[in-house]
Structure 1
Amino acid sequence: MTQPVKVLSKLHALACAAAFALVATGGVAAYAADAANAKQAIAVQNAWVRWLPNNLPSAAYVTLVNSSDKPIDLVDISSADYGMAMLHQTVSNGSTQKMVMVDKLTVPAHGQAAISPGGYHVMLEDAKRKIAPGDTVHLKLQFSDGETLDAPFAVKSPAQTK
């Protein structure tokens, strides 16, 4: 009689292990599906570049929208279309203005940060190809939470931006 009990115990252990594996696999699959469907914290709106002729530096503008519960910093910008992309801020000092390079721009929790004419802007220098109004260029935006966005920016002539 002891023999069947041992066999039954082994079968019971195998059945429990199989059930655990199914539950664990389902849990991992559900977690992976949730992660894949998770909404990115930062969204890009109204992304455009003010084009200037003769390979002059251009400026990029965009509104960053943070849907998360925490502030997130824009910490790096790069572009395959330009040799250099830098975040600047226009600072007024009485009757004069100057551009100052900045390391980051904070997008508040459940808020927005505008990169717009007269304020923050992205300086784009050394175009790697001929860029003209009507084109689209891409900027890679990196954030303090680890998120990276490859965002399309519409290229506009100065006349189109007024």
Structure 2
Amino acid sequence: MILRSLPLLLAGLLCAGAAHATQAGHVHASDAWIRVMPANLPAGGYVSLRNDGDQPAVLDGASSAAYGSVMLHQSSTDTGMGRMRMVDSLTVPAHGQVALAPGGYHFMLMDAGKPVQPGQTVQVVLHFADGSTLGTDFLAKPANAL
């Protein structure tokens, strides 16, 4: 009897786990990089995020052991003037993607503990509204990188 019930029990556990999947569990990061600036100026962080889930995933922050502060910003141009503002969150739509890229949404990485050099890999932990996290390796590139 127990052996015949085991497949049903395992199937039930798998379904229950899928119902409680985290936002970070559905998001995949790619092309992650940091534009390293001279003289310990704030660096810009960029990444493409793809959400394979049926629900939106809300990115509401990030952190890194290499930087004292990581903030989500959005750059824009209004009447010829470049502007940058901090934003609280960014939604990655269900079955969609969002790019954090130069000239748009990006991370501002400030107060590096020690200088980050081009070629190094820095882990940035992405934080989602449900409390889940996604550790992502960012490749440091020089200031003139595109």
Scaled by the length of structure 1, the TM-score of the pair is 0.77
Between 1 and 2, higher relative CO (CA 8 Å, sep ≥ 6) is seen in: 2
1:48 is aligned, of 14, 26, 33, to 33
Corresponding position: 1:115 with 2:100? yes
Counterparts of residues 5-154 of structure 1 (less than 5 Å)? 19=1, 23=5, 27=9, 31=13, 35=17, 40-154=25-139
The residue type paired with residue 31 of structure 1 is L
Query: Distance in 2 between the 1:60 and 1:126 partners?
Result: 14
The residue type paired with residue 13 of structure 2 is Y
Structure 1: segments with no counterpart, 5+ residues? 1-18
The residue type paired with residue 111 of structure 1 is G
Would you tell me which structure has more strand in proportion to its own residues?
2
Q: CA deviation at 1:118?
A: 0.2
Scaled by the length of structure 2, the TM-score of the pair is 0.85
Structure 2: segments with no counterpart, 5+ residues? none
The residue type paired with residue 110 of structure 1 is H
User: CA, structure 1 residues 43+20, in 2 after alignment: closer, same or farther (shift >3 Å)?
Assistant: same
Q: Say what the alpha-carbon RMSD is for the aligned residues.
A: 2.7
Q: CA deviation at 1:69?
A: 1.1
Larger Rg: 1
The residue type paired with residue 134 of structure 2 is L
Would you tell me which structure has more helix in proportion to its own residues?
1
Identity of aligned residues (%): 43
